[in-house]
Amino acid sequence: MLTRGLRAVREMYELTRGLGNLRVLLVSGLVGTVAGGLLNPVMPLYLQSRGLDLQGIGFVYSVGSLVPIFLQPVMGSLSDRYSRKGFVVGLSLVTSLLVPVMALFAHPLPLAAALSLKLLLARSAQPVNGALVADFAPVKKRATIFALLDASTSFMFVLALGASAFVIRWLSTQYTFFLAGGLFLISSLLLLRLEEPAREPSKARASGGEWKLALDAVRAPLDYVRGSPRLAGLFAWQFFFAFALNLFPIYIPLYAMKLGAPSEAVGPLVAVSWLVYAFAQPFGGRLSDALPKRNGLILAGLAGMVVMSAVLGFAGWIPAPYGLIVMVVAWALLAVPDGLHRPSAQAVVVEVAPASERGRFMGALGGCAALAQVLAPLTYGFVARHAGLSSAFLLSSGALLLSLAGMAWAPERAAPAAVAHTPVLTPSQEPG
């Protein structure tokens, strides 16, 4: 595994020869991923130990996405007009400092407030970060490069998950938060080496002051759909895919323990899917670049995720210890169709994004994802509390089916355009 991971990082590094900014983003992302991998198995259990029930945990994650529904489009539009680097570095530094702060609270209310603020800022920065990557990324072998970038961080995340039990036992949960906070800070400081990208003039520059720009950004999804009705499918895919994915980082650790997994095995168990995902993604990226159209691969991948998420739900109704075995196998297999189709889906997103207003377009998509991230934890928390965790996974399967329907309607370009990838839905962005 380690050899394969190092090979993916080396191959990604070679593909970005002469692209120093992408290398900075790669290294920064790898450091941040280690921090996220250490926190992933801790966070839901830590919240539960401080007095939050399943529905309360869902509420915390929802609050962290409420403001970004409106803030993401605004941030994206402002980055078109001003500095992408300034927004990314500033927000990254602030969120990194909030991680160790969470370890200082024993009462659930200030802890929930700190986590919600961290999520709010991190999610608000996503469309700006996506537009920044789009400014630096090359056109050729787009899906391959995106897949290797995500695979490199996924392998690093697996290694961090594997080490999480040892680190937590050695340092304690509180000091693990301090270690993760330090790594997030290093990741943020590395971003200072980025250059401000050269961009095409934005249409937003002539649209008036900041208040008008903000209002235009908030209504951006309606503007895009009015101009091209089939973009509604892309926005629907973004919403339902984000809704479905929101279940896994919050409830997989709790689901594994409910089915009989010991607490020290939760980190490695979660890592199984990330490991498979990291192996599948480079193959999916290369396959996508070799195909004349991407939609077939995307729809097949989403269909596979629908089936595996449903199997995850049924695992909770199987007697022990077989239920846990089925859950682990389904969790691992879920990553195969996900890894195969995700680079294609990301490429389709950026191939229809207007080059002169990438931030605004990605912010509009990000607002849809943020709305899903508000509704999903509340919905899953309510369903898990009243109908059990198995039903929550079945609901996630239904959301994936709706995302498939949206992508089937979404536009697709047969030939790549000179725009690049957004990491809005990279799973390692928000571990824990």
The pLDDT of residue 152:
79
The answer to whether the CB of 99 falls within 8 A of the CB of 398 is no
Structure tokens, 9 = 């990082």
When mean pLDDT is compared across 56-70, 201-215, 393-407, the lowest value belongs to 201-215
The pLDDT of residue 314:
94
Structure tokens, 271 = 């890592």
In angstroms and rounded to an integer, the radius of gyration of the C-alpha atoms of the chain is 20
Distance CA 234, CA 96 (A): 31
pLDDT above 60 (res 420): no
When mean pLDDT is compared across 7-11, 40-44, 203-207, 380-384, the lowest value belongs to 203-207
140-171 confidence digits (pLDDT tens)? 676 777 777 777 787 787 788 777 778 877 87
The pLDDT of residue 14:
67
pLDDT above 50 (res 204): no
Report the chain's mean pLDDT, rounded to a whole number: 79
Distance CA 146, CA 161 (A): 22
Opening angle at CA 29, ends 144 and 257, nearest 5: 100
For residues 114-135, average pLDDT: 79
- Band (324; pLDDT cuts 50, 70, 90): very high
Percent of the chain with pLDDT over 70: 82
Nearest to 27 by CA among 10, 44, 42, 41: 10
The answer to whether the CB of 349 falls within 8 A of the CB of 134 is no
pLDDT above 90 (res 202): no
When mean pLDDT is compared across 134-138, 304-308, 328-332, the lowest value belongs to 134-138
- Band (383; pLDDT cuts 50, 70, 90): very high
The pLDDT of residue 33:
86
* Tokens 């919240």 sit on residue: 47
Burial of residue 84, with CB atoms counted within 10 A of its CB: 0-12 exposed, 13-18 middle, 19 or more buried: buried
* Tokens 């697709």 sit on residue: 412
- Band (410; pLDDT cuts 50, 70, 90): confident
- Band (268; pLDDT cuts 50, 70, 90): confident
Dihedral angle, C-alpha 145, 369, 93, 431, nearest 10 °: -70
Identify the DSSP state of 192: G
Distance CA 241, CA 228 (A): 21
* Tokens 């593909």 sit on residue: 15
Higher-confidence position of 127 and 64: 127
pLDDT above 90 (res 315): yes
- Band (7; pLDDT cuts 50, 70, 90): low
Neighbours of 296 (CB within 10 A): 13
- Band (9; pLDDT cuts 50, 70, 90): low
Higher-confidence position of 324 and 42: 324
Higher-confidence position of 120 and 315: 315
Distance CA 336, CA 323 (A): 21
